Homo-oligomer: A and B are copies of this chain.
Amino acid sequence: MSMPGMMDTILNLGLTPASVEGIAKQTKNERFAYDSYRRFISLYGKIALDVDEELYNKAMEKVKKEKGVKLDTELGVPELKTLCNEYKKITQEKTGKPFPDDAYEQLDYAIRAVFGSWMGRRAVDYRAQFKITPEMADGTACNIVAMVFGNMGEDSATGVAFTRDPGTGENTFFGEYLTNAQGEDVVAGIRTPKPIHEMHNDLPESYKQLCDIRAKLEAHFKEVQDFEFTIERNKLYMLQTRNGKMNAAGTVRSSVEMANEGLITKEQAVLRVKPDMIDQLLHKQIDPKFKGKALAKGLNASPGAAIGACVFDADDAVAMHKEGKKVILVREETKPEDIHGFFISEGILTSRGGKTSHAAVVARGMGKPCVSGAEEIHVDVHTKSAKIGEQVLKEGDIITLDGTTGLVFLGAAPLVDPEMTGNFGTILSWADSFKKLGIRANADTPDGAKKAREFGAEGIGLVRTERMFNAVDRLPIVVDMIMADTLEERKHHLNRLLPLQKKDFVDIFEAMAGLPVTVRLLDPPLHEFLPSLEVVLRDYFELQMKNAPAEEIAKKEKVLKKVKELMEVNPMIGHRGVRLGITNPEIYEMQVRALLEALGEGIKAGKTIKLEIMLPNVTDVNELIHMRKTVFEPIKAELEKKYGVSIPYMYGSMVECVRAALTAKELATESAFFSFGTNDLTQGTFSYSREDVEQKFMPKYVDLKVLPANPFEILDRKGVGRVMDIAVKEGRETRPNLKVGICGEHGGEPSSIEWCHKIGLNYVSCSAFRIPVARLAAAHAAIINK
């Protein structure tokens, strides 16, 4: 059996017209011999010679139909011999060469095929998804072992098992087996395998042996094991064992229980739960109060609820996803070729296959909800539809999967947010006890602030004040402000914004109840609030073409003029942030007034508020000095007098321009804290414009291994990381207690968080939903780099 998309196994290799006769005589079981031979030809054809397996399947279906049976176990020797010849014919037609009748020739091809699979689409997609870089693994291996046969009769069997339930993590023996079968039968979903405990009746001796081995494996590996076995005439053979791929819930429960059983330490328990994986646990569940009638029921193969549009083909799924739709992949059974469809689907639904079927294994690995073996569902790929009794599901119809119960509902069922209690809460609290980094959230609204605290945020690391400018009730005022002809007019519109902005801050302070709140003053250039040149030009030309009233044209012309006046060649590195604050101080004045009024009134009312204000796009300490002297200090003095209280806040700097980092020693004379903006810092360090780079050449760069990963996703340590390190070290030369955080997207990415730990940051800040990930990643960093 093979790890999905990573390797392929060819069973029964070495069977030839001569050896198949020999094995028939030796075992006195001609049926077994030819069953093995036909399996070999098709598997070999598919893997080593790249023949479409559908051709073999069709031949099989034809023979079964002629014989009038449903299962291949019901076929006799004559049919199997026919099938062998048929399979060989198909193979020769497709490859143009006779099927190899020499065992060594077969082996030679097979080895080449295994090595070749490394660069196949499935393997490449898989590695990309799981961020397996060439440094981590750059090639595969090929093992050759003697064959044992699970298809030698009813005293033979083959199976797959986990030492604990990989879906729930429960400490119970979990697995499936089939008698008179080979490994592929268990995972292919053609015959539905039996639960492992039934082996107690079928093959009691082997079952007892397996149970002993299960305990031995865990004691040895100190990890949940996923193993394969074959029983040949009552003799048990262990084929392989490896660490069990488990979903997040399973990993979390087994980690906590293994630690509590004394099998592993708490640190090891935390390390077992990969930060990326727990994203799954933050998936929503169907509201327990929901009483809807299920459309179908299958196996609860991978937990969590998913809502999406039905789609019956992986390529179609990708296409619909690109249109922005959420999809659920519905298949009779899935195959490794479908892997690209898994990545973008919300969940997977199959009508055949057990809990160890391809669909179930892959979905669990990815943490996607999966219901497998929902046998009432009849999928028709050609008409792109499925039937459940009378009910017809067409492509695009919305369904809800509950991978926790195995139920499928028509339409969108009500979902509820996950809770961070139970074992998950235990792991997170253990993680918190190990981590050194503080964890804050990026939040721009009072609701966002509340959500952040629920997820365990210890403060807000970034309030983007421009989000407040973009709200529907504000944008028209902001546009008026930008279009103003005079400073007076502009100030008038800013005064309209002031109470709204102040209210935002009052509410956020309230929601955070004394935890620190870091507010960034306006960051983007003003033209971002106006329509694009293309849109305005189009409107303008249209008005002209249809001879609109002169007044209307003049109005549009004014907008056009302003858009062109504000237009920049490279807006991301232009007139924005503190640069705008210095040329147009009236805007920051309004923001600082709103902040300090909210703060002053809060303090006067006896509240604890820890406000940290930072300036974006700083390149020189003089920018901080200038703004402090001309904007902050006058307003502070005025309001302290007005409210009769002192209004303390921390004054800090974003470090998102390389020069800010390189002059950190000076910057720290004015900044009580630094906050890294690593998107912009990556932009400056690489001279990469994120939007352009990702669209135009980054995929190619990663493909060609020019870069190990997109540096906007995973922090580049050599360049950007070094710049950060310089800033932290040199900033603290000036101000040993300088507080340093990060508020870019990297703040929620585990490898980047590790770097933040290594260079001694005080905290990371990320979106609320990434906070548990960040807590865990911070703990990993602390444990690994102890």
Complex Cα–Cα for A716 and B704 (A): 36
Whether B719 pairs with A687 at a CB distance below 8 angstroms is no
B573 near A683: Cβ-Cβ < 8 Å: yes
- If A541-B541, A573-B692, A662-B723 are given as contacts, then 14 extra A-B residue pairs at C-beta distance below 8 Å, sorted by A number, are A537-B537, A545-B545, A569-B692, A573-B683, A573-B689, A573-B693, A579-B697, A582-B701, A619-B719, A656-B687, A657-B685, A657-B686, A658-B687, A684-B687
Listed A/B pairs (11) with beta-carbon separation below 8 Å: A533-B534, A568-B696, A573-B683, A574-B689, A579-B693, A620-B707, A626-B704, A658-B685, A658-B687, A659-B720, A662-B719
Q: Count of A residues near B, CB < 8 Å?
A: 57
Name the B residues within 8 Å of A704 (CB-CB). 582, 626
Establish whether residues A569 and B620, one from each chain, have CB atoms under 8 Å apart when the complex forms. Answer: no
A680 at the interface (CB under 8 A from B): yes
Q: How far is the CB of A562 from chain B (nearest CB, A)?
A: 14
If A582-B701, A619-B719, A707-B620 touch, does A687 touch B657 (CB 8 Å cutoff)?
yes
Please give me the residue from chain B that is nearest to A545 by CB atom. B545
Smallest CB gap from A622: residue in B: B706
Q: Any chain B CB within 8 A of the CB of A663?
A: yes
The CA of A541 and the CA of B656, in the complex, are separated in Å by: 41
The answer to the question of A700 belonging to the interface, with a C-beta cut-off of 8 Å to chain B, is yes
Once the chains bind, are B582 and A697 in contact (CB under 8 Å)? yes
Check if A357 is an interface residue, CB within 8 A of chain B.
Answer: no
Say yes or no: A692 contacts B659, CB within 8 Å. Answer: no
Instruction: Please measure, in the bound complex, the distance between the C-alpha atom of A686 and the C-alpha atom of B573, giving whole angstroms.
Output: 8
Contact A573 B533 (CB under 8 A): no
Smallest CB gap from A656: residue in B: B687
B623 near A696 (CB under 8 angstroms)? no
Interface flags, A656-691, vs B, CB<8A=1, else 0: 111100110010000000000000100111111101
Whether a CB of chain B sits under 8 angstroms from the CB of A151 is no
Query: Top 4 A-B pairs ranked by shortest CB distance?
Result: A574-B692, A570-B689, A659-B719, A575-B696
Q: A558 → chain B, closest Cβ, in Å?
A: 17
Q: Does A718 contact B (CB under 8 A)?
A: yes
Q: Are B692 and A683 in contact (CB under 8 A)?
A: no
Q: How far is the CA of A620 from the CA of B709 in the complex (A)?
A: 12
Does any Cβ of B come within 8 Å of A583's Cβ? yes
- The proximity string for A residues 459-480 relative to B, scoring 1 for CB distances below 8 Å and 0 otherwise, is 0000000000000000000000
A670: shortest Cβ distance to chain B, in Å?
Answer: 13
B-facing residues in A617-643 (Cβ within 8 Å): 617, 619-620, 622-623, 626
A69 interface hit (Cβ, 8 Å): no
Judge whether B570 and A692 touch: CB under 8 Å: yes
Q: What CA separation (Å) do A571 and B687 show in the bound complex? A: 10
Question: Is there an interface contact between B662 and A706, defined as CB atoms closer than 8 Å?
Answer: no
Determine whether the beta carbon of B689 is less than 8 Å from that of A683: no
B573 and A691 within 8 A (CB): no
B residues less than 8 Å from A719 (CB atoms): 619, 658-659, 662-663
With A and B bound together, what is the CA distance between A696 and B691 in angstroms? 23
- A536-581 interface with B by 8 A CB criterion: 537-538, 541, 544-545, 568-575, 579-580
Interchain CA distance A716-B688 in the complex, whole Å? 21
Verify B706–A620 contact, CB threshold 8 A. Answer: yes
Interface check A705, CB cutoff 8 A: yes
A706 touches B663 (CB 8 A): no
A238 to chain B, nearest CB (A): 43
Q: Is A722 an interface residue (CB 8 A)?
A: yes
CB contacts (< 8 Å) of A541 on chain B: these are: 537-538, 541, 545
| Residue of A574, A687, A692, A722 ringed by the most chain B CB atoms within 10 A | A687
Q: By CB atoms of chain B within 10 A, which of A537, A719, A722 has the most?
A: A719
Assembly CA distance A250 to B582 (angstroms): 44
In this complex, the member of A570, A571, A656, A701 whose beta carbon has the largest number of chain B beta carbons within 10 angstroms is: A570
Instruction: Point out the residues of chain B lying under 8 angstroms from A620, CB to CB.
Output: 706-707
A413 to B684, CA, bound (A): 49
Query: Shortest Cβ distance from A172 into chain B, in angstroms?
Result: 49
> Which residue in chain B gives the minimum CB-CB distance to A572?
B570
In the bound assembly, the distance between CA atoms of A693 and B577 in angstroms comes to 13
B700 near A583: Cβ-Cβ < 8 Å: yes
Q: Shortest CB–CB separation between residue A742 and chain B, in angstroms? A: 17
Query: In the complex, how many angstroms separate the beta carbon of A248 from the nearest chain B beta carbon?
Result: 34
Q: A571-B569, A658-B719 are in contact. Are A619 and B693 (CB under 8 A)?
A: no
* A684 and B659 alpha carbons, distance in the complex (Å): 9
A498 to chain B, nearest CB (A): 25
Known: A659-B718, A701-B582. A575 touches B685 (CB 8 A): no
Residue of B nearest to A578 (CB): B706
A617 adjacent to B687 (CB under 8 Å): yes
Give the distance in Å from the alpha carbon of A663 to the alpha carbon of B684 in the complex: 15
Q: Which of A541, A579, A658 has the most B CB atoms < 10 Å from its CB?
A: A658
What is the bound-complex CA distance between A723 and B719, given in angstroms? 12
The answer to whether A696 and B574 have CB atoms under 8 Å apart is yes
State in angstroms the CA–CA spacing of A680 and B700 once bound together: 24
Complex-state Cα separation, A656 to B572, whole angstroms: 18
Instruction: Give, as a whole number of angstroms, the nearest-CB distance from A655 to chain B.
Output: 11
CA distance A620 to B519 in the complex (A): 35
- Does the CB pair B706–A626 fall under 8 Å? yes
- Identify the closest chain B residue to A699 (Cβ): B583
Interchain CA distance A688-B568 in the complex, whole Å: 12
Query: A573 and B718: CB pair below 8 A?
Result: no
- Beyond A570-B572, A696-B574, A700-B583, is A688–B619 a contact (Cβ under 8 Å)? yes
| A562 and B55 alpha carbons, distance in the complex (Å) | 44
Q: Do B688 and A573 touch (CB < 8 A)?
A: yes
B706 touches A582 (CB 8 A): yes
Cα–Cα distance between A573 and B697 once the two chains are bound (Å): 12
Bound form: Cα–Cα A214–B659 in Å: 51
Residues of the B chain whose Cβ atoms lie less than 8 Å from the Cβ of A537: 534, 537-538, 541
* Contact present for A687 and B573 (CB under 8 Å): yes
Residues on B with C-beta less than 8 A from A687 are 572-573, 617, 619, 656-659, 680, 683-684
Q: How far is the CA of A626 from the CA of B704 in the complex (A)?
A: 8
Residues of B within 8 A of A583 (CB): 696-697, 700
In the assembled complex, how far is the CB of residue A33 from the closest CB belonging to chain B, in whole angstroms? Answer: 52
Q: List the B side residues contacting A693 at CB < 8 Å.
A: 573-575, 579
Cβ contacts under 8 Å, A696 to chain B: 568, 574-575, 579, 583
Minimum distance in angstroms from A46 CB to a CB of chain B: 33
